[in-house]
């Protein structure tokens, strides 16, 4: 789906089984968006929002996520969002930022992705009292170049 400006929206589900597992996996990392390595392409990301059906609840430990941009050609990584308790990147509804069944924008800007580049979500969570369910990202993007066109 695209608007008159060519901006498209994509929903990407977060691994529900990882959020329900006990113990939670040490390395919950998931690519949420990327540009293919071929054909030549360039994609711009404009915003990333998050929503859930049931928010994680953990009275003891933090439940946060980071958004990391990986530049494949330079072999470097840049953190777009560092999750913090009570701020953007907090997976718990107690943060008063995340509201169940509502999209909350956690990152805005312009991040250009060239062939092979990606954005991933790294989740830090231990053993929540209430497991999260139905977490997903809504990504607003525009294809700027496809196969040299």
Domain interval for residue 131? 8-146
Cα radius of gyration (the chain): 16
Do the domain assignments include residue 27?
yes
Do the domain assignments include residue 110?
yes
Q: How many domains does the chain have?
A: 1
Confidence (pTM): 0.87
Residue 74 confidence (pLDDT): 92
Q: For residue range 74-97, what is the model confidence (pLDDT) as tens digits?
A: 999 999 999 888 788 888 866 567
Do the domain assignments include residue 15?
yes
Domain harbouring 66, CATH code: 2.60.120
Do the domain assignments include residue 52?
yes
111 with 35: CB under 8 angstroms? no
Do the domain assignments include residue 3?
no
Q: For residue range 8-54, what is the model confidence (pLDDT) as tens digits?
A: 999 999 877 777 666 666 678 899 999 988 778 889 999 999 999 88
């Amino acid at each position: 789906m695209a608007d008159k400006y060519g901006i498209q929206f994509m929903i990407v589900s977060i691994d529900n089984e990882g959020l329900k597992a006990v113990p939670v996996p040490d390395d919950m990392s998931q690519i949420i968006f990327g540009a293919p390595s071929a054909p030549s392409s360039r994609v711009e990301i404009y915003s990333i929002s998050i929503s859930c059906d049931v928010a994680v609840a953990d009275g003891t430990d933090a439940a946060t996520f980071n958004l990391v941009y990986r530049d494949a050609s330079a072999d470097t990584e840049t953190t777009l969002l560092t999750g913090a308790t009570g701020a953007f990147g907090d997976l718990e509804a107690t943060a008063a930022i995340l509201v169940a069944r509502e999209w909350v924008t956690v990152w805005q800007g312009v991040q250009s992705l060239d062939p092979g580049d990606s954005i991933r979500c790294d989740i830090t969570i231990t053993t929540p009292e209430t497991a999260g369910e139905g977490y997903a990202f809504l990504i607003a993007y525009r294809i700027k170049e496809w196969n040299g066109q």
